[in-house]
Amino acid sequence: MLAHGIWDSSARFRNMRAALLERGLGPVFAMDFSPRDASIPFQEMGNQVQEAVERLLGESDAGEVDIVAFSMGALAARYYIQRLGGSKVVRKFISISAPHHGSLLAWFSSKPGVKQIRPGSDFLQGLHRDPDPWKGVEGISFWTLLDLMILPCWSSYLQAVPNRVFLVPVHPWMLTTRRVIKAVITFLQA
């Protein structure tokens, strides 16, 4: 399953989705958050991830799901895994350029979800305090040193999983850069 970032839609995953299907890594479902602008808290976005996962599992013969999530979508998926029992059905989780430790840009918005992305927020601290955040889910975090949406860029570092850094110059290009797509495929096939 694919989960997009703020102001985006499932269309952002067009290249990655095609590459995953070409490698036989399907079915691939790209969800859409509603609304897409983080004007709801991550707890509600996590519920949307849960609904999408349940729909995907119900429509396929799969007993588990892999989640590839970008930016805001990765925090929503992380909440689902850590707080809504997603670890029972998620096999692998790939976080791409997500503000796991917040982003300074979040101080420029008062939308509920964006406020939760402020560095040091109760929401983020709660996720970090979890003594066993992944509960058996195999995870990885991909991020770029050149990210101008996640400030500082190291905020995409995710504890208790491997982290891989790319030199991709623009935040959304992390979903279209061939090296990142190849790394996603390699991780899912392992």
Which of 113, 165, 125 minimizes the C-alpha distance to 6? 113
Looking at residue 143, what DSSP letter applies? E
Phi, psi (rounded to 5 degrees) for 93: -130, 125
Total domains in the chain come to 1
Q: Rounded to an integer, what is the distance from CA 59 to the centroid of its chain? A: 22
Tokens describing residue 108: 């420029």
pLDDT of the chain, 190 residues: tens digit per residue: 999 999 999 999 999 999 999 999 989 999 999 999 999 999 999 999 999 999 999 998 889 999 999 999 999 999 999 999 999 999 999 999 999 999 999 999 999 999 999 999 999 999 999 999 999 999 999 999 999 999 999 999 999 999 999 999 999 999 999 999 999 999 999 9
Q: How far is CA 107 from CA 61, 119, 170, in A?
A: 43, 9, 21
Which of 161, 189, 166, 162 minimizes the C-alpha distance to 179? 166
Phi, psi (rounded to 5 degrees) for 163: -125, 135
At residue 163, the 3 state secondary structure works out as: strand
pLDDT score for 29:
94
pLDDT score for 49:
98
pTM value is 0.96
Question: Could you list the residue range(s) of the whole structural domain that residue 151 is in?
Answer: 2-189
Residue 66, domain CATH: 3.40.50.1820
